[in-house]
Amino acid sequence: MRITLRVWRQADRNSPGGLKTYQLTDVDSSMSFLEMLDLLNEELTARDEEPVAFDNDCREGICGMCGIVINGAPHGRYNSPVATTTCQLHMRSFHDGDVIDIEPWKAGAFPVIKDLVVDRSAFDRIIQAGGYISVNTGAAPEAHSTPAPKRQADQAFDNATCIGCGACVAACPNGAGMLFTAAKITHLARLPQGQPERLRRVKAMVAAHDEAGFGGCTNIGECAAVCPKSIPLASIGQLNRDLIHSLFTGEGK
Ligand code: FES
74 neighbors 136 (Cβ within 8 angstroms): no
Measured CA to CA, the distance from residue 185 to residue 131 in angstroms comes to: 7
Whether residue 51 has pLDDT greater than 70 = yes
Tell me the CA–centroid distance for residue 231 and ligand 1, in Å. Answer: 17
CA 86 – ligand 1 centroid, Å: 7
For CATH 1.10.1060.10, list the domain ranges present in the chain.
120-134+147-249
Question: What pLDDT does 203 receive?
Answer: 96
Whether the pLDDT of residue 185 is over 90: the answer is yes
Across 86-97, b (16+ Cβ under 10 Å) vs e yields bbbbbbebbeee
- Structure confidence at residue 192 as a pLDDT band (50, 70, 90): very high
- The atom number, within ligand 1, closest to the CA of 87 reads 4
Q: Where in the chain is the domain with CATH 3.10.20.30?
A: 3-113
- Mean per-residue pLDDT of the chain: 95
pLDDT of res. 253 = 64
In sequence order, what are the beta bridge partners of 114?
117
pLDDT of residue 249: 85
Q: Write the CATH number of the domain with boundaries 120-134+147-249.
A: 1.10.1060.10
Q: How far is the CA of 69 from the centre of ligand 1 (A)?
A: 14
Determine if ligand 1 sits within 6 Å of the CB of residue 64. Answer: yes
| pLDDT at residue 252, as a whole number | 65
* Mean pLDDT for the stretch of residues 218-246: 96
The CB of 228 under 6 Å from ligand 1? The reply is no
- pLDDT higher than 70, residue 82: yes
> Is residue 59 within 6 Å of ligand 1 at its C-beta?
yes
Best of 65, 75, 229 to mutate for ligand 1, by most ligand atoms within 8 A of CB?
A: 65
Q: Candidates 33, 62, 90, 105: which one to mutate for ligand 1, based on the most atoms within 8 Å of Cβ?
A: 62
Cα–Cα distance measured from residue 228 to residue 231, given in angstroms and rounded to the nearest whole number: 8
Residues 30-46, mean pLDDT to the nearest whole number: 98
DSSP assignment string, 35-76: HHHHHHHHHHHHTT-PPPP---S-SSSSS-----EETTEETT
Distance 57 CA to ligand 1 centre (A): 6
Q: What is the CA radius of gyration of the chain?
A: 20
Q: Mind listing the pLDDT tens digit for each residue in 157-174? A: 999 999 999 999 999 999
Mapped onto helix, strand or coil, the DSSP state of residue 5 is: strand
Give the Å distances, CA to CA, from 233 to 121, 184, 195. Answer: 23, 13, 22
Mean pLDDT of 83-111: 96
Structural contact between residues 24 and 38, judged by C-beta atoms closer than 8 angstroms: no
Is pLDDT of 235 > 90?
yes
Spelled out in words, what is the top-level CATH class assigned to the domain 3-113? alpha beta
Over range 206-231, report the average pLDDT: 96
Q: Is 221 strand, coil or helix?
A: coil
Q: By percentage, how much of the chain surpasses pLDDT 70?
A: 99
pLDDT for residue 81: 87
Binding site membership of 63 for ligand 1 (Cβ less than 6 Å): yes
CB 91 within 8 A of CB 28: yes
User: How is 181-208 classified by DSSP, letter by letter?
Assistant: HHHHHHHHHTSGGGSTTHHHHHHHHHHH
Q: Please name every residue paired with 9 in a beta bridge, in sequence order, or none if there are none.
A: 18
Q: What is the pLDDT of residues 140-158, one digit of tens each?
A: 778 788 888 999 999 999 9
Give the residue among 196, 168, 197 at the shortest CA–CA distance from 182.
Answer: 168
- What is the band of 137 on the pLDDT scale with cuts at 50, 70, 90? confident
Angle, helices 198-211/178-189, rounded to nearest 10 degrees: 170
Instruction: Read off the pLDDT band of 76 (50, 70, 90).
Output: very high
